[in-house]
Amino acid sequence: MFKKYKILWLTFIFIALAIGVYNIPAVNSRLAWRIDAIRTRVIYFFNPPEIFRPSAATDFNVQTAVVTARAEMLLTLTPQATAIPTLGATVTPTATFPPAPSAVSLPGVVYVDQHNRWNYCGPANLTMALNFWGWKGNRDDVAKVVKPGSGDMRVNFIDRNKADKNVMPYEMADFVNEETEYRALTRYGGDESLLKRLIAAGFPVIVEKGYYEHDTTGKITWLGHYLFTTGYDDARGGFIVQDAYLKPGKNLLSVYKTYLEGWRAFDYLFIVVYPADREAEVLETLGPWSDTEWANQHALDLANKEVTSIAGNDLFFAWFNKGTSHVALRQYVDAATAYDQAFLLYANWNTETKDRPYRMMWYQTGPYFAYYYAARYADVINLANTTLTDPAHKEEFTLEESLLWRGRAYYMAGQTQLAVNDFRAALKIHENWLPAIQALQDLGLQP
């Protein structure tokens, strides 16, 4: 009996010590996000996220006059990346370029990881891109602007930006263009030869891509990820990348096939950061991609080819890209139709080896644009509800973009108070976020 009590006391003391050590700030900052990741995967195994099913029908119950007036008011609230650079004549898409070298590895790369922070993929990669050109800031300097969290300084900086799960490409480009002396641009529809040409010219590239890893169930799970690409080697068959997530993550080889398959999930989007005085060189190297409209149309052309040539689960990404490209071209009804097909494929996803990419709407908001401007407000609300219903974090609203679009749709459906609630909730995730502030101000309310 005494031995049993002794074991119980020792167990109690061990647990108490473990809790005490875990709550030491230096230890907590290193372990908290790992424990939360494990907890999340276990919860998702027993309680997977819901599946969104679009109605594929217009909400005709909303009066046309009200829809028109409110759409005009809210149209200006769509967040846009800073319009840099401004082009003159459209670049001829038939431009030819000399063959790129068979291997390039850019010197002067300063590796930055995302560890010991919540959802820091964006800040870490953007810091690497800026540090490459001599910027002296760090990942926290970026995060204070692009994912400031609640702004409550009584909470340590690591935790206060935990809720904002993702930094959008336009937020990264805006940070560079508005907060630094450098410049950044984003484009859809990139390809392998373009990346090689940019890198050979001395310009590393950030791409947004899907990332696969084995989870606690043994299946392959999917998440979005930025990847700083600083070289390539044809003999080894891949790009040289700086992966802020992996350990070790510096100067890894990502084979072309895997790299391109992951890149497909984001419509082949890329970001180039560069010194302002080298803008002309960047535009020349981009060739036809220097024209945003050409790039968007090219991305649509790629998607149209892939929806007829890809089979299996990856066909979902091809149809999603078709919708995203239509949105970029402001063809919202066509985009909505493409997203309908994508979500149908998502519902019929083969889950034997790979889980559904339920995080898709954490990173891409194209379906909100499409359904909203196609006057399908119920679908905007239902999609946002599905996205915000996170079984692992039921107490948290973690995506300001989903809250914003749901608020806009609530307003268009005549539910103004619900709209106001969502706009204010978005500001709790992202302090001083202009789209939510504008939405409240346009209703005559203070943030």
Query: Which residues have C-beta within 8 Å of that of residue 405, sequence separation ≥ 6?
Result: 365, 368, 372, 380, 384
pLDDT bin (cut points 50, 70, 90) of residue 235 is: very high
Residue 403 maps to a domain: no
Residue 150 sits in the same domain as residue 222: yes
Q: Is the pLDDT assigned to residue 232 strictly greater than 80?
A: yes
134/246 same-domain check: yes
| Tens digits of residue pLDDT in 376-434 | 999 999 999 999 876 554 545 579 999 999 999 999 999 999 999 999 999 988 889 99
**Residue 11 confidence (pLDDT):** 56
- 384 in any annotated domain: no
Q: Is the pLDDT of residue 144 over 60?
A: yes
Where is the domain boundary, 256, 290, 324?
A: 290
Residues 31 and 107 placed together within one structural domain of the fold? no
Dihedral sign (CA 328, 330, 331, 335): positive
Percent of the chain residues topping a pLDDT of 70: 74
Q: Which of the four pLDDT bands, split at 50, 70 and 90, describes residue 121?
A: very high
191 and 284 housed in the same domain: yes
159 pLDDT above the threshold of 80: no
Whole-angstrom Cα Rg for the chain: 23
| Residue 257: inside a domain | yes
Mean per-residue pLDDT for 8-30? 50
Residue 2 lies in a domain: no
Which among 355, 366, 436 is positioned nearest to 400, based on CA atoms? 436
Mean pLDDT of the chain: 83
* 32 and 177 together in one domain: no
Residues 33 and 110 placed together within one structural domain of the fold: no
User: CB neighbours (10 Å) of residue 345?
Assistant: 18
Q: Residue 209's beta-bridge partner residues?
A: 225
Instruction: With a cut of 70, say whether residue 117 has pLDDT above it.
Output: yes
For residue 212, give the 3-state DSSP assignment.
strand
Question: Which segment of 13-22, 220-229, 262-271, 330-339 scores lowest on mean pLDDT?
Answer: 13-22
Identify the band that residue 312 occupies on the pLDDT scale cut at 50, 70 and 90.
very high
**43 or 341, which is more confident:** 341
Given a cut of 90, whether residue 333 has pLDDT beyond it is: yes
Structure-model confidence comparison of residues 256 and 23, the more confident one: 256
Are 191 and 257 members of one domain? yes
At 18 the pLDDT is 47
Contact 162, 119 (CB under 8 A): yes
Condensed to tens digits (0 to 9), the pLDDT of residues 357-376 reads 988 999 999 999 999 999 99
Tell which residue, 80, 154, 59, has the closest CA to residue 409: 59
Of residues 3 and 163, more confidence is placed in 163
Residue 148's pLDDT is: 87
175 and 31 inside one domain:
no
Residue 177 sits in which domain range?
97-290
Per the listing, tokens 């005085």 go with: 277
Both 41 and 112 in a single domain?
no
The reply to whether 323 falls in a domain is no
Residue 194 belongs to a domain: yes
Which of 290, 308, 325 corresponds to the end of one domain? Answer: 290
Domain termination residue (choose one: 258, 274, 290): 290
Do 23 and 172 fall into the same domain? Answer: no
Do 158 and 40 fall into the same domain?
A: no
* Average pLDDT of the residues in 259-268: 96
**Count of domains forming the chain:** 2
Q: Is the pLDDT of residue 299 over 70?
A: yes
Q: What is the mean pLDDT of residues 140-161?
A: 72
CATH number at residue 224: 3.90.70.10
Q: Greater confidence, 103 or 429?
A: 103
159 within a domain of the structure (yes/no): yes
Of the candidates 256, 102, 82, 264, the residue with the CA atom closest to the CA atom of residue 176: 82
The answer to whether residue 38 sits within a structural domain is yes
78: amino acid identity, one letter = T
Average pLDDT over residues 329-344: 97
pTM: 0.83
One domain for residues 118 and 250: yes
Largest CA distance in the chain: 88
**136-138-141 Cα angle (round to 5):** 105
Q: What's the whole-number mean pLDDT along residues 20-47?
A: 48
Average pLDDT over residues 324-344: 97
Query: Tokens in use for 92?
Result: 């001829």
pLDDT mean over 316-324: 98
pLDDT for the residue numbered 156? 56
